[in-house]
Amino acid sequence: MITDKDNITMDDVAKLAGVSKATVSKALNRLPVVKAETCARVFSACEQLGYRINPSVQDFLRQRINGHKQDIAFALVGVPFSSPGYAGMIEGVSQGVQAHRLYLILTSLSGRESHRYELPPEIRDGRAAGVVLSGVLSEPLITLVRETGTPYVILGNYPRTITAHADSVSVDVDAMFDLAVAELTARRKRRISFFYENPHNYFARECLAAFQRALQAHGLEFSPRRVFEGKGGEYNALDVMEAAYSHGAFDFDAIICINDLAAREAASEIIAHLGKSAANDIVMVTTTDQVRAINPLPTLQFVGLPHTLARIGLDLLIERLKKPSAEYKHITFTPKLCVEGTPQKNAVPSVATTHINCTADLKQMG
């Protein structure tokens, strides 16, 4: 029986799993040629033996912030990189990495990983100095990532149970919706509606709650008839708005739709039923990476939300690499609301920082 875990080799893993050394290597590098059940045996063997990458190799791959080449991984969980909703975030991370003279690795996770050995090598083996995480995050997955000892930052709005032991950046949804409703009431809009794509998404639920609070704060009525709920996928506003109109005329004079592409779908459906002239009385509020006149309705835009989220997060991660034992920071920001076509220089977000009352306890791997 092997008792010295520092001397465990890939051959030991292969023997216990009943596969070849080459198969172990392919499984650990997540190559699709290895069957799922074979990968499960390999991961189980790794876990039983406590196998980990050669420390000398890890030290070589994971250099500190000192001017040498260094990789930062952007890991998207449960969402394809082709998703337009994350384009601005990817661009923001990329620009931040370039600004810090680092190198970017894009990697993905399914969100169903149950073993540390199922994680991408960039995270599992410390091949990246740090990781930027976003997507469909869960407590079990965050626990696996945390156990690797690789520093990480979380981008987006998630429960505190997910962000408690990490640096994170999120959107101040209450401030955001208060800005939107205040501007709409200044334009004499009183019947404000809200469209959200995924009722199971934490950020969407936060937005709905913030929408209700903002209406109440401005003395406006909240009506369930003015809340349009998607089916969990992207850009299903056409079907949702079509179904809403089939039950009667649109009972609103403004609509808040956070996703830009879904907002354009909703606008098209509104114009199709009301006509361009009548539809022009309805004001749309949405988000965009940059100020641009692309929505057919009069539009207010929260500018640069995912891009700013990513740039702030990348800076946080760099701070973490320089000061591994510092307190965790949770940063919230509010993007500026712009009239469509106004200069982007007016879209500087406000930022607030909270120091979470615990210190980093990154596990040292070696």
Question: pLDDT tens, 282-327?
Answer: 999 998 876 555 678 888 999 888 889 999 999 999 999 989 889 9
Determine contact, residues 310/297, Cβ cutoff 8 Å.
no
Could you list the residue range(s) of the whole structural domain that residue 22 is in? 1-51
In a domain, 297, yes or no: yes
Token pair listed for 294: 């692309």
State the average pLDDT over residues 34-57: 80
Name residue, tokens 């799993």.
Answer: 17
In a domain, 2, yes or no: yes
In a domain, 32, yes or no: yes
Indicate which CATH number applies to the domain containing 20: 1.10.260.40
In a domain, 1, yes or no: yes
In a domain, 37, yes or no: yes
CA-angle at 75, arms to 70 and 76, nearest 5°:
155
Q: What is the pTM of this model?
A: 0.80
- Residue 236: CB partners within 8 Å, gap ≥ 6? 197, 230, 262, 265
> How many separate domains does the chain show?
2
Determine contact, residues 109/167, Cβ cutoff 8 Å.
no
State the average pLDDT over residues 268-272: 88
Residue 73, pLDDT score: 94
Indicate which CATH number applies to the domain containing 195: 3.40.50.2300
Q: CA quadruple 296, 297, 301, 305: dihedral positive or negative?
A: negative
In a domain, 246, yes or no: yes
Residue 235, pLDDT score: 57
The residue out of 9, 27, 51 marking a domain boundary is: 51
The residue out of 263, 285, 305 marking a domain boundary is: 305
In a domain, 322, yes or no: no
The residue out of 282, 305, 328 marking a domain boundary is: 305
pLDDT beyond 80 at 275: yes
Can you tell me the distance from the alpha carbon of 80 to that of 93, in angstroms, rounded to the nearest whole number?
Answer: 16
Mean pLDDT of the chain: 83
Q: How confident is the model at residue 132 (pLDDT cuts 50, 70, 90)?
A: very high
In a domain, 186, yes or no: yes
* pLDDT tens column, 237-253: 777 777 777 666 688 99
